[in-house]
Structure 1
């Protein structure tokens, strides 16, 4: 009906002509032909190939005919397809009225991409400013925020200023897709256009959210204070953004302040607001405080939802407080909140981490019995737990079971098993699993290589480990410090002290801090080879990293230097004393 209202005005004074110039209204066959063409284009898949031959004498190129077709068909996408056919096959050149009608219909249907293609295909078409304003809203809903901003500047050229509400819709759309740069560009356009006095609290709320998204939460907070001083109060989503931002900054005094502001402004914090607070506390390892807020929330009459219960249960499991987590588990069920797969996996993971695989298996079986499908998360949780406790054969059995049951393995499941196999000394199987991971098309992570490199160095296969390290480098994966520690210690054990020295210097240049034991292994190896100059270099680097020498190493070095009649500077002896 909306399409018909939109297009009716375009038909009021139209004359419809046949190919010979007669009036369509006097042609009794016109309505019949129009109906037939609409039916054909709606029902036949390749009508473009036959339509001209079916109606050889019909004048398809008359723009008035297209308007009748658009109104009668009442399907914007078919009408757009029909227009493309007309322009390519019939020499049709759509006029302003045809384009206006189709463009408005596409915008009303939310077809922002189709509306954009119409603009691109008809460069001479200039929609009415009001139509372009609706188009901006359509683009925002479709996530095409860059195009929406371009339309604002197109309207500026013709002297048309959209409503503040249109700006707000676009600002929110930019925030939704993470384009804070466009938020500030639009806001600058609002200032230049002189609408600052009309900016409402919704606009300011968007700016506060943009600050928070960019990590400038204190700037957002200052803007909130200015808004409150004017007697305005943004909605809860703005407060939630500030709370989430301050939680990331561990500014919990500010979080408390914002909660009090919300209450004083009769903008009472909802369950989602407290969810942000509790989630932020647990993410920052402030589990005790998160648990306290959760209990306080219940005491004040709030009813936590399943997500909040799961968040707190996970926090308690991370603290190793499985007893408290289990109490919440049953409390949640008693309140009619049925645990989902994620809640089950949180508890299973908690039991695995404390080594209670019996309870973990019970929960796993219970989850399956309740009809939850076994998925990659549940399998990986059990595989990780079994590997953690050295039960690698059972973990490997579960890994193979995933394939039999059609559960797709992911990178985490491969990495968990590779680590477990390495810890169990089964390096051949671990290497085979890494090759399988690569053959399956997965992009390996640092965790795919690190356990293997460590284990290979421990068993004297440092050369193989270094080839894996090169493979990591070729894949643009940056090794962690302990991986290079393992390489250096492995080289020292194999007597390749000079190469170990080279890796130490690389490590320092990459801003990675070696372990104290790495320095000690190098000093021991260099001492055995009487490389006294290199020992002084290693000592200097060691002291710069803040380490101290053990007394036994000091005695050994002094004895070594004296025995070799090496000129051991007095300064070094003084430094030994100062550093140690």
Structure 2
């Protein structure tokens, strides 16, 4: 269903219909007090306007004294008001002054005053206040001001409303400039609304605005945002053949997309195209390549590119160092990561919270907890305020690394630092205590998490259920399973394995077989250990047919029966049916 037009659109449409279709127009609300003045009075008005502007900037509650400080015969003229609005250099103060002066007896604003404050609000990106002004003051801004207002709406993220305003301008017969249209396209991309980019471009085509290199650049970026990198590449080739060369950021966006889909052949082609068109790749271009390689677990290649850049004279920036350190940490190349860390410091780059976060995570991941703790303290020494992401990283790393004392200390420290705990912290603590088999403490964190109104993650549920299954507390494990499903948390496949093995340890073949059957019906592949435990349990209960059935399924999946189970199984078969034992042995050996 189409969105009904707001009252402001209805008002503008009515006023447009009554206006001559000229590109520049103004509509006076009232010209009764629009005092005429000689050219030699202009300086006097401007001087007083500057004094008034200074007063309202520095003096609190100036509304009570302004008419006493300055002659009303000058202050309450539309020319003086317009000059004050333009010279205040503060959109909110200009708007406050305008509202105040409109409430004074003897003053009625004309279109120039309204347009002046409207322009100030638009320049300050105060699109909502500007829209309110149109309705409150019952005036139509100049067409140029309305064009900028549409751009402002797009840049503020109100792209749907901006497009609607644009359509009303078009219906009134006004053709926007190409520069304004390009700014609209840019605003839509900034708001991540590539769908509206194509709508704007369709209107541009209807206006006869073919576009320029910037326009094509925005369209290529819109294709990239839609994950249509090959269409973007074809459009780029067409525009290059036409003699246009888009901005370097367009190449960067396209390179980033091809890195994401691992098409490094196209990345190489784009780099060569940039060089051929005298649009030399910048450090930001190579940053996209290094980031893409690291994201695709190609850290070694990223490091080669990084070193090659330095040899060619490029100076990596802090973001590139962060990316490369993160990539090396993921590869567990901590000596190289540390070398880059100190190299970055020697270049004069001061690590920020994100830089520390990357390196601390790498240290924890490689088991260098002492180094991570040292970096944590170094952050405080440098006066850096730790944020939620820093705490999340350290608590998760220490918890999963078995350093629960340190993790608990950080967990307790968060409220003191006025940082709100979230589900990530609780889930990390649950997994950590389950890992060291302290399920009582893990369950306490589970209940505390529920009390906050959040819910455990699938990983936290998995850890708790596994811990309960190991100790044979199957009913408690099933209760957690039901709670997980009730909260619409998708269980891990391996959580099924833990429950099956838990029933097997209890000797409960019926429940174990039931859960295993459900796994297979859902096309989930159980672990080899799960099959072996199930067969072991069935053999112990003398359920040879069921054991043989499970064995056949297990062998079809390419798993092997562990040797002790194999001998015990064949012995049981031999005790009743030697032919069956021979066939079973043949299947196993095959």
Task: Quote the offset at 1:147 in angstroms.
Answer: 0.9
The aligned runs of 1:9-408 (5 Å cut-off) are 14-16=31-33, 71=82, 74=85, 77-78=95-96, 103=118, 106-118=121-133, 129-195=143-209, 198-408=210-420
Change (3 A) 1:366 1:168: same
Task: Quote the offset at 1:139 in angstroms.
Answer: 1.0
Change (3 A) 1:77 1:452: same
Contact 1:70 1:76 in 2 (8 A): no
Task: Quote the offset at 1:232 in angstroms.
Answer: 1.5
In the alignment, is residue 515 of structure 1 matched against residue 530 of structure 2? no
Task: Quote the offset at 1:275 in angstroms.
Answer: 1.1
Q: Which residue of 2 aligns with 1:55?
A: none
Contact 1:70 1:102 in 2 (8 A): no
Task: Quote the offset at 1:163 in angstroms.
Answer: 2.0
Identify which of structures 1 and 2 has the higher relative contact order when contacts are C-alpha pairs closer than 8 Å and 6+ apart: 2
Change (3 A) 1:510 1:146: farther
Task: Quote the offset at 1:249 in angstroms.
Answer: 0.9
Q: Which of 439, 446, 449 is the matching residue for 2:451?
A: 439
Change (3 A) 1:212 1:495: same
Task: Quote the offset at 1:474 in angstroms.
Answer: 2.2
CA distance in structure 2 between the partners assigned to 1:46 and 1:525 by the alignment? 88
Please list the CA deviations of residues 22-41 of structure 1 after superposition, one character each: whole Å capped at 9, or x if unmatched. Answer: x999xxxxx9xxx9xx999x
CA distance in structure 2 between the partners assigned to 1:463 and 1:45 by the alignment? 73
Change (3 A) 1:200 1:547: farther
Please list the CA deviations of residues 370-391 of structure 1 after superposition, one character each: whole Å capped at 9, or x if unmatched. Answer: 3334554445544444444433
CA distance in structure 1 between the partners assigned to 2:204 and 2:513 by the alignment? 61
Moved over 6 A (4+): 8-13, 42-47, 65-70, 82-86, 93-102, 564-570, 572-575
Q: Structure 1: give runs of 5+ residues left out of the alignment.
A: 1-7, 18-22, 26-30, 48-64
CA distance in structure 1 between the partners assigned to 2:154 and 2:146 by the alignment? 12
CA distance in structure 2 between the partners assigned to 1:331 and 1:495 by the alignment? 60
Give the count of matched residue pairs. Answer: 533
CA distance in structure 2 between the partners assigned to 1:81 and 1:566 by the alignment? 102
Contact 1:69 1:79 in 2 (8 A): no
CA distance in structure 1 between the partners assigned to 2:204 and 2:548 by the alignment? 65
Q: Which of 409, 417, 421 is the matching residue for 1:409?
A: 421
Q: Structure 2: give runs of 5+ residues left out of the alignment.
A: 1-24, 38-44, 65-75, 86-92
Task: Quote the offset at 1:345 in angstroms.
Answer: 3.6
CA distance in structure 2 between the partners assigned to 1:484 and 1:210 by the alignment? 44
Task: Quote the offset at 1:429 in angstroms.
Answer: 1.0
Task: Quote the offset at 1:311 in angstroms.
Answer: 1.8
CA distance in structure 2 between the partners assigned to 1:567 and 1:203 by the alignment? 80
Higher mean C-alpha displacement, 492-501 vs 289-298: 492-501
Please list the CA deviations of residues 3-32 of structure 1 after superposition, one character each: whole Å capped at 9, or x if unmatched. Answer: xxxxx9767992349xxxxx999xxxxx9x
What is the RMSD of the two structures over their aligned residues, measured on CA atoms? 4.3
Change (3 A) 1:218 1:536: farther
Task: Quote the offset at 1:560 in angstroms.
Answer: 5.2
CA distance in structure 2 between the partners assigned to 1:109 and 1:70 by the alignment? 19
Contact 2:469 2:502 in 1 (8 A): yes
Contact 2:570 2:585 in 1 (8 A): no
CA distance in structure 1 between the partners assigned to 2:330 and 2:132 by the alignment? 52
Contact 2:434 2:464 in 1 (8 A): yes
Contact 1:287 1:316 in 2 (8 A): yes
| TM-score between the two structures when normalised by the length of structure 2 | 0.77
Higher mean C-alpha displacement, 301-310 vs 436-445: 436-445
Please list the CA deviations of residues 40-91 of structure 1 after superposition, one character each: whole Å capped at 9, or x if unmatched. Answer: 9x987999xxxxxxxxxxxxxxxxx9978964873663378679989xxx9x
Please list the CA deviations of residues 239-266 of structure 1 after superposition, one character each: whole Å capped at 9, or x if unmatched. Answer: 1111111111111222222122212222
Please list the CA deviations of residues 336-361 of structure 1 after superposition, one character each: whole Å capped at 9, or x if unmatched. Answer: 22233333343333333333333333
The aligned runs of 1:529-540 (5 Å cut-off) are 529=541, 535=547, 538=550
Change (3 A) 1:560 1:79: farther
Task: Quote the offset at 1:515 in angstroms.
Answer: 1.6
Q: Which residue of 1 aligns with 2:502?
A: 490
Contact 2:395 2:411 in 1 (8 A): yes
CA distance in structure 2 between the partners assigned to 1:525 and 1:478 by the alignment? 28
| TM-score between the two structures when normalised by the length of structure 1 | 0.78
CA distance in structure 2 between the partners assigned to 1:108 and 1:361 by the alignment? 47
SS of residue matched to 2:251: helix
